[in-house]
Amino acid sequence: MKISILQMHTILGQPEKNTAAFLRMAEQAMQEKPDILLLPEMWNIGFFPRPVEDYADKNGENTRALLSEFARKNQVNIVGGSIARLESSTGKIYNTCYIFDRQGQEIAAYDKVHLFSPGKENQVFEAGRNICTFTLDGRKCGVAICYDLRFGNYLSRVAEDVEILFLPAAWPKLRQKHWDILTQARAIEYQVFVAACNGGAETNDKHPLGGHSGIFDPCGGVLAKAGEGEDIISAKVDFGLLPEAREKIPVRIDKKVSL
């Protein structure tokens, strides 16, 4: 399975420009013939313009139509980063990831569970309540978003029965070292492949994102790693490595779940 990560530079509050950037980068990535495209958190509006309700996608309708059409047209799976979604029935806003298969069918959606209080995300968004796992091309996958990465007990539940964990993010350059360590460590800790997509940095941004998207194998090996700016990285993941890694160090068997 080949994964391509779109490390986009998103422009705050400019959905039309960000959509154009997505289409440009996605078309470029398709030259590598990936099986899965992974986008960053809040790729369409940035993290996050105020008031966010003026930018939120009503029921995710625009985003769902865009990603579904691209997936169907290009016969590619898409883990769609995340967007601000306005739930019309309740008026609540969620940080939501949509997942599409090669036929353009929406097969899963995930609302970010852990909201970043230092950025006041918890004052604007509603927290999700469920983990999200799904199957792409016969492989069991899970997804978490940005701040979720810091919560190991939660991620262990997401990763318990998956082969690859997708992590879209809008992680700041200020804490880039944490991102680098945690993304690689989660692959080792849970013995899964990790595909982590951050936003790309721009020098004139007031609070630039850190980039450094990466794809890691279940032993923590680096299969692909981006720099700080806008970038596309791709790597093939060999699922034959999973049983080998899990047999050599059987943490899943040795884990004391009652403690």
CA 193 to chain centre: 13
- The torsion defined by the Cα of 65, 66, 68 and 72, in degrees rounded to 10, comes to 130
If one counts the domains in the chain, the total is 1
Q: Considering only CA atoms, which of 76, 79, 81, 82 is closest in space to residue 32?
A: 76
Q: Mind telling me the catalytic residues?
A: 41, 112, 146
**In a domain? residue 220:** yes
Q: Which residues contact 52 (CB under 8 A, 6 or more apart)?
A: 45, 84, 93, 124, 125
Tally of CB atoms within 10 A around 209: 29
152 is a domain residue = yes
- Is residue 259, in this structure, part of any structural domain at all? no
| Residue 200 forms part of a structural domain | yes
- Cβ atoms of 102 and 75 within 8 Å: the answer is yes
User: How many Å separate Cα 140 from the centre of its chain?
Assistant: 15
Position 210 in a domain: yes
The Cα–Cα gap between 16 and 227 comes to 25
Domain assignment present for residue 143? The answer is yes
CA terminus-to-terminus distance, the chain: 36
Instruction: Please write the tens of the pLDDT for every residue from 205-248.
Output: 888 999 999 999 999 999 999 999 999 999 999 999 999 999 99
Tell me which amino acid residue 176 is. Answer: Q
Q: What angle do CA 24, 177, 34 make, to 5 degrees?
A: 30
* pLDDT tens by residue, 144-172: 999 999 999 999 999 999 999 999 999 99
Q: Which residue numbers in the chain have pLDDT < 70?
A: 203, 258-259
Q: What pLDDT score does 219 carry?
A: 96
What pLDDT sits at residue 256?
83
Distance CA 245, CA 192 (A): 9
Domain range for 48 is 2-254
What's the predicted TM-score (pTM) here?
A: 0.97
Q: Is residue 103, in this structure, part of any structural domain at all?
A: yes
DSSP states of 7-62 as a string?
Answer: E--PPTT-HHHHHHHHHHHHHHHGGG--SEEE--TTTTT-S--SSGGGT-EETTHH
Tell whether 130 is covered by a domain. yes
Cβ atoms of 176 and 130 within 8 Å: the answer is no
Which CATH number do you get for residue 165? 3.60.110.10
Helices (H), 75-211: 152-159, 176-190
- Residue ranges of alpha helices (H) inside 103-222 are 152-159, 176-190
Measured distance CA(225)–CA(215) in Å, rounded: 7
Tokens at 250, concatenated: 């059987």
Q: Tell me how far CA of residue 97 lies from CA of 28, 100, 120, 258, in angstroms.
A: 22, 10, 20, 32
